[in-house]
């Protein structure tokens, strides 16, 4: 029983593999696929983007697919960057920005700049995971992880905004946690575990 985890993000793929390994589920990645396709994420909600990705990859490769759309919602920014989390650095917020760093670093710097002197630093990670099988239909779940944005980046584990996200109840950033611990509390871990429960139930019906 193999599922294609259709993500171009290595950090995400690593986490999906770890989470699924607890259930003995083997994961294929886009790198295992001979023919390559790209899918643009141009929708306005996590769910629509995740459905689009799952359907495109599933219909193309004709195997069961898991796709995720995820992001960080910051309260003081009205929920931004949200669905724009991956390319936040390149979205114009009134100033021209040249990218000299890597993407994750650029996103982090931009967010810290926008939150400078802001007292409300509440944020949450969101994950919407879609399972799609060309033979049957689709299932989706969501997971959230609440926390605050730190003053400066710390830690080198994880990916994306992890170095500036302090989960509720912790005094360190997500990037300072062991991978197992991040998976236990993360938006992705929660969404995937919900999904596996539903799939297990369905397979016994």
Residues designated catalytic: 69
Q: In this complex, which beta carbon is closest to ligand ITT, that of residue 7 or of residue 141?
A: 7
Q: In this complex, which beta carbon is closest to ligand ITT, that of residue 68 or of residue 196?
A: 68
The distance of closest approach from Cβ of residue 152 to ligand ITT in the complex, given in angstroms and rounded to an integer, is 16
Q: Which residue has the tokens 């936040």?
A: 88
**Binding string, 19-38, against ligand ITT, x = CB under 6 A?**
--------------------
Residue 71 lies near ligand ITT (rule: CB under 6 A): yes
Query: Which tokens hold the place of 62?
Result: 């004709």
With beta carbons less than 8 A apart as the criterion, state whether 81 and 74 touch: yes
* 160-179 positions binding ligand ITT, by CB under 6 A: 160-162
Residue 73 lies near ligand ITT (rule: CB under 6 A): no
Residue 80 lies near ligand ITT (rule: CB under 6 A): no
Sign of the Cα pseudo-torsion (44, 147, 102, 190, in order): negative
Report the chain's terminal Cα–Cα distance, integer Å. 18
Residue range at the interface with ligand ITT (CB under 6 A); choices 4-12, 19-27, 58-66, 130-138? 4-12
With beta carbons less than 8 A apart as the criterion, state whether 83 and 126 touch: no
> Whole-angstrom Cα distance, residue 151 to residue 139?
38
From 85, 150, 173, 183, residue interacting with ligand ITT (rule: CB under 6 A): 85
- Three-class DSSP category at 202: helix
* 51-70 positions binding ligand ITT, by CB under 6 A: 68-70
Residue range at the interface with ligand ITT (CB under 6 A); choices 17-25, 54-62, 155-163, 190-198? 155-163
Query: What H or E segment, with its residue span, contains residue 149?
Result: strand 138-149
DSSP string computed for 34-66: SS--------SSHHHHHHHHHHHHHHHHTS-EE
State the residues that interact with ligand ITT by CB under 6 A: 7-9, 12, 41, 68-72, 85-86, 107, 125, 158-162, 186, 188
């Amino acid at each position: 029983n193999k599922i294609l985890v259709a993500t171009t993000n290595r950090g995400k793929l690593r986490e999906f593999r770890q989470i699924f390994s607890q259930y003995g589920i083997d994961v294929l990645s886009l790198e295992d696929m001979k023919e390559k396709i790209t899918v643009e994420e141009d929708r306005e909600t996590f769910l629509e983007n995740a459905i689009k990705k799952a359907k495109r990859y599933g219909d193309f490769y004709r195997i069961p697919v898991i796709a995720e759309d995820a992001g960080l919602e910051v309260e003081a920014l009205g929920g931004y960057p949200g669905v724009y989390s991956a390319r936040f650095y390149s979205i114009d917020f009134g100033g021209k920005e040249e990218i000299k760093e890597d993407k994750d670093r650029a996103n982090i710097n931009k967010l810290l700049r926008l939150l400078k002197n802001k007292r409300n630093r509440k944020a949450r990670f969101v994950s919407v995971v879609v399972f799609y099988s060309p033979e049957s239909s689709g299932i989706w779940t969501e997971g959230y992880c609440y926390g605050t944005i730190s003053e400066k980046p710390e830690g080198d584990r994880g990916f994306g905004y992890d170095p500036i996200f302090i989960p509720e109840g912790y005094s360190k950033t997500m990037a300072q946690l062991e991978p197992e611990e991040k998976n236990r509390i993360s938006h992705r871990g929660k969404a995937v575990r919900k999904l596996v429960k539903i799939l297990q139930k369905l397979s016994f019906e």
